[in-house]
Amino acid sequence: MDMLQLGKQVLENQPFSQLLGAVLTKFDSESTELRIPVKDALKQQHGFVHGGVLSYAADNALTFAGGAALGTGVVTSEYKINYVRPAIGQEIIARAVAEYAGKSQAVCRCDIFVVNEGKEILCAIAQGTIARLSAAPSVE
Amino acid sequence: MDMLQLGKQVLENQPFSQLLGAVLTKFDSESTELRIPVKDALKQQHGFVHGGVLSYAADNALTFAGGAALGTGVVTSEYKINYVRPAIGQEIIARAVAEYAGKSQAVCRCDIFVVNEGKEILCAIAQGTIARLSAAPSVE
Amino acid sequence: MDMLQLGKQVLENQPFSQLLGAVLTKFDSESTELRIPVKDALKQQHGFVHGGVLSYAADNALTFAGGAALGTGVVTSEYKINYVRPAIGQEIIARAVAEYAGKSQAVCRCDIFVVNEGKEILCAIAQGTIARLSAAPSVE
Amino acid sequence: MDMLQLGKQVLENQPFSQLLGAVLTKFDSESTELRIPVKDALKQQHGFVHGGVLSYAADNALTFAGGAALGTGVVTSEYKINYVRPAIGQEIIARAVAEYAGKSQAVCRCDIFVVNEGKEILCAIAQGTIARLSAAPSVE
């Protein structure tokens, strides 16, 4: 099975990713791309996509990018996100790359776009640490 | 209407908060508390609550705490979250306070707990900037 | 030798800490306090203490707090800082605590104050990850 | 006077930047580059350049990049830095770009390299918010 198929399978096994409707559209050693079609249930009170959805997208794309770089099971240790524009549109796209990969962790960046009438608009940027599972706090 | 009722109304107007089942349980000038009962749809592939849910809880609790401190409409500009333990349990609790509030923004902190068989366990901590809506990038 | 003496020795072996004039005033399992007397060489163009000095103080206080919690050689993996007020005064104080300590890392918070005519004023807050040296990227 | 000359003048008016020996080598609407020749006084106890120096470089490069994007007086509101490799070498280079610039703030990214025997090695990455001075907490 190729990497993208493997990644899709992981995402399908995450009930929360299914609830949000996330789809993995790229997953290789170069970069990761996650897409979420916008539906009303993902919005906040002003009709924009909720920040929590953008955070989810950043978090998961960072994790997949770190996993591809480390070649193993991983968890997100931490990340930071800046929201720069309201997310108004039909689809969210999160694209992440590993800027560094060592033995125990990768440090990744992610750009989060909203697609509005075919045009991609940057709405958030993120940066975070992905840890190899054996070194992760989650399994301590 | 008191502040907690006002806050509950805002949360009820966020379709994404309703999808996750979030409830505002404290909202005053001192602190904000948001709770999310855990259900299978909020989990990842290992049965833990998905990081995206903890991020949503941190993001929203920070926003409410900043809003209470600034006394106005606000948006989250940015935040950072560290996951420290896997979230295994029956309920997520996010508690946020404003450490600083100025004219245009507040800087807040948030502790995120999972309640497991009645015991609160710290599973993430966060810090972020909440901006007054008129000064926020969202309305530029 | 007690912990505070041990910590002071580490700080004395950091030429950059000596250049800035940093002094460790508390270092135990509960918390860490680092102080820097303000001198002109630490300022920026408007006469405030330079943000880089506050960052240094946060970084080093976080590292010491993480080291005390982990009981071993450590490095700072990452941190985030929010500046909230201009630092005008005679002394900088950074106080850090470990909010979580596991096998391989600690997650810590830090408050940074400026002392102006005897009064402590919060000028920045920080949060970061301190890694045990054997798990740290620095030694890979 | 061109932008680079203007930027150099600002840096020369920062006593802390002079103490560290920072030099502005690029400053235009596209990007900012700051360089710091390594000297013993900038190191920590293991002979690496102190994290506080990398933080200073990131902070200042982010500020200049945000200032170039906003075209006005600015301050750094907040930033986050991940250290990825020990900084061993003869010079530190911080390169920053604005990923977004609005009316009141810019969101920027920075790569921090150490030059070792002519080779640039990535040692840290950062992301932060630069605020227009009138909207900044510093002048409230």
Residue whose tokens read 């998905």:
B50
Mean pLDDT of the region A63-72: 96
CA distance B123 to chain C (A): 9
Rounded Cα distance between C87 and C123, Å, is: 6
Measured torsion, CA atoms of residues C32, C37, C41, C43, in degrees rounded to the nearest 10 = 70
Query: Which residue matches tokens 């707990």?
Result: B113
The answer on pLDDT for B124 being more than 90 is yes
Sign of the alpha-carbon dihedral angle for C11, C16, C19, C20: negative
pLDDT at B63 over 60: yes
Q: How many domains does chain C contain in total?
A: 1
DSSP-based three-state secondary structure for A132? strand
Question: Which chain B residues are Cβ-neighbours of C82 within 8 angstroms?
Answer: 100, 107, 127, 129
Site from B24, B55, B112 to mutate, A interface, most A CB atoms within 10 angstroms: B55
Q: State pLDDT tens for residues A83-98.
A: 999 999 999 999 999 9
Q: Say whether residue C29 is in contact with chain A using an 8 A CB cutoff.
A: no
H helices of chain A, where? 3-12, 15-20, 51-70
Q: Residue B1 — very low, low, confident or very high, per pLDDT cuts 50/70/90?
A: low
Residue in A closest to B61 by C-alpha: A52
Q: In a 3-state reduction of DSSP, which class is residue A91? A: strand
Q: What is the least distance, in Å, from the CA of B128 to any CA of chain C?
A: 8
Q: Provide the CATH number for the domain around residue B127.
A: 3.10.129.10
The answer to whether residue A54 scores a pLDDT higher than 60 is yes
* pLDDT at res. C134: 73
Residue that wins the pLDDT comparison between D140 and D35: D35
d(CA A41, CA A18): 13
What is the Cα–Cα distance from A126 to D60, expressed in whole angstroms?
A: 20
> Any CB–CB contact under 8 A between A105 and chain B?
no
Look at A43 and B10 and tell me if their CB atoms are within 8 Å: no
Is D51 buried (19+), middle (13-18) or exposed (0-12) by CB count in 10 A?
buried
Q: Give me the pLDDT at residue D72, please.
A: 87
Q: Which residue numbers in chain C have pLDDT < 50?
A: 136-140
Asked if B15 lies within 8 A of A40 by C-beta distance, the reply is yes
Do residues B110 and B62 make contact, with C-beta atoms less than 8 angstroms apart? yes
Q: What is the pLDDT of residues B66-95, one digit of tens each?
A: 999 999 899 999 999 999 999 999 999 999
The model's pTM: 0.96
Q: Chain A contact for D107, CB < 8 A? A: yes
Structure tokens at A34: 């996650």
What is d(CA D44, CA D50) in angstroms, rounded to the nearest whole number?
5
Chain D interface mutation, best of B70, B75, B99, B129, highest count of D Cβ atoms under 10 Å:
B129
Residue A122 near chain D (CB below 8 Å): yes
Tokens of A2: 């190729």
- Mean predicted confidence (pLDDT) in D39-66: 97
* 3-class DSSP string for chain B: CCHHHHHHHHHHCCHHHHHHCCEEEEECCCCEEEEEECCHHHECCCCCECHHHHHHHHHHHHHHHHHHHHCCCEEEEEEEEEECCCCCCCEEEEEEEEEEECCCEEEEEEEEEEEECCEEEEEEEEEEEEEEHHHCHHHC
Residue B140 has pLDDT above 70, yes or no: no
Please report residues of B whose CB lies closer than 8 A to that of D75: none
The rounded percent of chain A whose pLDDT value lies above 70 is: 95
Q: Is the pLDDT of residue D87 over 70?
A: yes
B80 in contact with chain D, both atoms CB, cutoff 8 A: yes
Do A129 and C77 meet the contact criterion of CB atoms below 8 Å apart?
yes
Mean per-residue pLDDT of chain A: 94
Q: Residue A89 is part of which domain span?
A: 3-139
Beta carbons of B129 and C82 less than 8 Å apart: yes
Number of residues written out for chain A: 140
B91-109 per-position pLDDT tens digit:
999 999 999 999 999 999 9
Tell me the shortest Cα–Cα distance from C127 to chain B, in angstroms: 7
Q: Distance (Å) from the C-alpha of residue C30 to the closest C-alpha of chain D?
A: 24
